[in-house]
Amino acid sequence: MEDNKNRLQRLLTSQEWNDEDRLWLLNYLDNSDNNELHTLALEQYGSDLSELENSELQNLLDRKASEEILAHLHEKFNDQPAKKLFRLNRWAVAATVVLAVLSLSLLYYSNQSVETKIARNTPVHSVDIAPGSNKALLTLADGSTIVLDNISDGEITKQGNTSVIKSNDMLAYNNAKSLALNTNIQPTYNTITTPRGGQYKVILPDNTIVWLNAASSLRFPTKFSGKERKVDLTGEAYFEVAKNKAMPFKVSANNTQVEVLGTHFNVMAYTDENSINTTLLEGSVKIVKNNDHVLLVPGQQAQVKNDIKVLDADVQEAIAWKNGLFLFKEAQLETILKQIARWYDVEIEFEGNLPDEKFRAEVSRNVNLSQVLKILELSGVNFTLKEGRKIIVKP
């Protein structure tokens, strides 16, 4: 069986880490005094350093390990070499390896982008805020409301022939005849609303699956009828639309309409953003704005302002929230802070002008707010987390 030292050596020199390797490393770091880490570093660099004093040896190991391990980490996770690496002072060898294992690095590119990665949740501020969770409010056709995070699993209500069932933080509308083409049926509508700091998953009456991001709402009929399936969105949602050629699916968001037959796509339509962005993962969609329209193919994004602009999309970035991540590639700090404000339900207050640098960041949405801020602080921006859910941002 592979011992700790050999496994560490293998992982630090390997080309890729699998999930088992990551879990082992995290468990090792939680339960080890890190003697193997020091031994490994001494074996790697010690042959030509034996005459140095302990303090000098430690400082040199810090520098060499920081440079080489972080460079190795960068090559592992990124496509291009770093032009300049920001050094963090007073790192011990063990801490440097922890840095590598946790995928935390800060790099400046020639285009002044900043990259950070983090996967753990160590308290770093005296005030802290937990991440968002699965919570939402359901408004029924008669105007009554149900707080979904306060009720047990099972059937929570019945509307006509449609049963509304909660199961494992997901809402499902069960009606075997929900797609009947009967134009005489007068639809009744429900609305599911997530607060800041909330998200929720719902299966619509046609079996379309919708993931709703924080500070969003979706209005939909309890039974689809007629010649189309139409829903109204504010905020952001990811859709996996059930196929039905006889009844196209339409998403209406801020005077923009997304029309599909059966496909996977993300719509971001927050009112405080500069555009409504629809990103297509699978199938095809038509984007309609006034008299203008475009067709998207997978891998494209439509950005709607006064007109419609089609760009190549970074699909993983667009749906990272649905997969439990903040993922930014060349993002302005303002964009990052908007997402943080929605997910952690905080107010952002600026003192001075924001820096112009662009960030590359991958951060779990399951860590506490203080940990996210600590990563952003490595860029030179200062954050103070105040009581009352307020973040003060200083350049």
For residue range 312-361, list pLDDT tens digits in order.
Answer: 999 999 999 999 999 888 888 889 999 999 999 999 998 888 777 788 77
In whole angstroms, give the CA distance from residue 250 to residue 60: 62
- Write phi, then psi, for 84 (nearest 5 degrees): -150, 135
Question: How many other CB atoms are found less than 10 A from the CB of residue 94?
Answer: 19
Give the per-residue pLDDT at 225.
87
Whether the CB-CB separation of 57 and 45 falls below 8 Å is answered with no
Give the per-residue pLDDT at 283.
93
Of 103, 124, 120, the residue nearest 360 (C-alpha): 103
In whole angstroms, give the CA distance from residue 368 to residue 249: 37
Q: 15-46: b or e for each residue (b if 16 or more CB lie within 10 Å)?
A: eebeeeeeebbeebbeeeebebbbebbeebbe
- Write phi, then psi, for 133 (nearest 5 degrees): -150, 180
- Write phi, then psi, for 145 (nearest 5 degrees): -125, 155
Give the per-residue pLDDT at 111.
37
Give the per-residue pLDDT at 257.
95
Which amino acid makes up residue 309? K
Low-confidence ranges of the chain (pLDDT < 70): 1-5, 8-9, 11-126, 176-185
Terminal alpha carbon distance of the chain:
51
Residues in Cβ contact with 163 at an 8 Å cutoff, skipping those fewer than 6 apart: 155, 173, 174, 175
Count Cα atoms within 13 angstroms, Cβ side, for 179: 15
Query: What CA–CA distances, in Å, run from 251 to 53, 157, 266?
Result: 68, 25, 11
Question: How many other CB atoms are found less than 10 A from the CB of residue 99?
Answer: 19
Whether the CB-CB separation of 337 and 393 falls below 8 Å is answered with yes
In whole angstroms, give the CA distance from residue 104 to residue 96: 10
Of 195, 137, 192, 120, the residue nearest 389 (C-alpha): 195
Give the per-residue pLDDT at 87.
27
Whether the CB-CB separation of 258 and 218 falls below 8 Å is answered with no
Q: Give bridge partners of residue 312 from the DSSP assignment.
A: 300
Of 181, 96, 169, 159, the residue nearest 134 (C-alpha): 169
